[in-house]
Structure 1
Amino acid sequence: MVQAENEFGLFAFQRKDISKQLHRSYVNKIVKQIKDVGFNVPMYTSDVSDFFEGGYIDGALPAANGEKNIDKLKTVVNKFHENKVPLYDCRILPGLVDALGRRFSKNKNKRNSTTDREFSEKWNFI
């Protein structure tokens, strides 16, 4: 997979002085460039689910940044990806899962150190 854009929806939301048509033109040029250099793989975008509309690219999987409400994630992905799956949260890092149980920090002061499992449980990743 190739991430075609990162949080463009937030930029589009903030820049109301730029037309939606110009925003669409920009993201379509990015997709064209990715394809022109030879990438023939699925693409995705990355945004907070509230900003999918401004960052959505036709044919690309809209991925959420840290959306904890699975029902909301299903709703927005279904709206912008025609009820296709997967539901994808691109801010859960694969290394986090691989390293569960190891210490984050090499800090000798163990009171300030936490395990990946403790971090994951705190943020409801597991």
Structure 2
Amino acid sequence: MRSALIDDSLWFIHKDGGCFYPWFRYSKHHRLRSFWVSDGSNLIQDATPVATVPELVTEVFSRGRSVWLFDGGKRGGLYRFGHDAIRKWDATQAVATLALRAGAPALADRRGG
């Protein structure tokens, strides 16, 4: 997986301390390359494409949707904040402000950015 397909302005922190990032992936079903959110189904055909990080923030924190995340290595999948071992989140300052406005819980310790 090329790192260019991962947006590192928003990250979710796994219970083991690893960082997972929104994954800009291609869906053969939709014929689109995008971020993806879901109401819980782990099937890509049930997913909703999200074009930008601000839209992704709204879907995840305002609407409580699951999001496809990847750690840049071998681990990836569909995660809902607070479930699936995702315990915290963090972001660059601009994205963190958007997330907090969208109802995100308090920030984790800053990784940087």
Normalising to structure 2: TM-score of the pair? 0.28
**More strand per residue: 1 or 2?**
2
Normalising to structure 1: TM-score of the pair? 0.26
